[in-house]
Amino acid sequence: MDPTIIESARRGEGDAFAVIVREKASELFAVAYRVLRDTELAEDAVQQAFANAWRELPRLRDVGRFDAWMYRLLLNASFREARDRRRHQSRIRMLTPIEEQSGDEATSIANRDQLERAFRRLTHEHRAIVVLHHYAGMPLAEIASVLVIAPGTARSRLHYATRVLRAALEADAREPGGRAAVMADVAK
């Protein structure tokens, strides 16, 4: 992000902030969606992050840290949305019958569903680490800065999250209704 645009926005120039929103909205939505796994919650988190950014931008001391600061605002808003949603969440989910899909499409959907189930076993904090590291490509030191945690804690959380994902995927493959069973049914 261009530091001059950030400086202009810090001085209260709405047009400069609009440029920031246009340039960062898609990227922030992608991260929020991967953490929250819900389009509406992700949109709300991004909107809240931008509202907080507009309010707090004059206090940002180092414009070079804008991206990390913006991710911190986004993740805080995402965690808040997740907490609020947990109170009102229903567990209804529409499933597409497997027999209506081709083998390759069914395999792709089964793999995606298996990964989704495993990802949902992670806490939002662990999802954030996985998304920032594997999707956004951030190094662990920068993730630690964004989340305001020690680098060792970031490494530990990534390790734990990876272990939970691996265990969930392996358990799903062993279950009678898990991916292995679905793939056997598709192959018939």
The whole-model pTM stands at 0.69
- CATH no. of 3-86: 1.10.1740.10
Arch. (CATH architecture) of 98-187? Orthogonal Bundle (1.10)
What confidence tens digit (pLDDT) does each residue in 120-132 have? 889 989 999 999 9
**What pLDDT, on a 0 to 100 scale, did the predictor assign at position 126?**
92
Q: How far is Cα 108 from Cα 110, in angstroms, rounded to an integer?
A: 5
- What are the CA-CA distances from residue 2 to residues 65, 138, 139, 148 (Å)? 12, 19, 21, 24
What confidence tens digit (pLDDT) does each residue in 63-94 have? 999 999 999 999 999 999 988 876 555 554 55
R_g of the chain, CA atoms, integer Å: 20
Q: How far is Cα 88 from Cα 21, in angstroms, rounded to an integer?
A: 29
Residue 151 φ/ψ, nearest 5 degrees: -55, -35
**What pLDDT, on a 0 to 100 scale, did the predictor assign at position 169?**
86
In the chain, what percentage of residues exceed pLDDT 90?
A: 58
Residue 85 φ/ψ, nearest 5 degrees: -70, -35
Q: Tell whether the torsion through CA atoms of 12, 16, 17 and 20 is positive or negative.
A: negative
Q: What ranges do the domains of the chain cover?
A: 3-86, 98-187
**What pLDDT, on a 0 to 100 scale, did the predictor assign at position 89?**
52
In the chain, what percentage of residues exceed pLDDT 70?
A: 82
What confidence tens digit (pLDDT) does each residue in 137-180 have? 999 999 999 989 999 999 999 999 999 999 988 888 787 655 44
Q: How far is Cα 184 from Cα 149, in angstroms, rounded to an integer?
A: 44
Q: 12 or 113: which carries more pLDDT confidence?
A: 12
Structural contact between residues 10 and 57, judged by C-beta atoms closer than 8 angstroms: yes
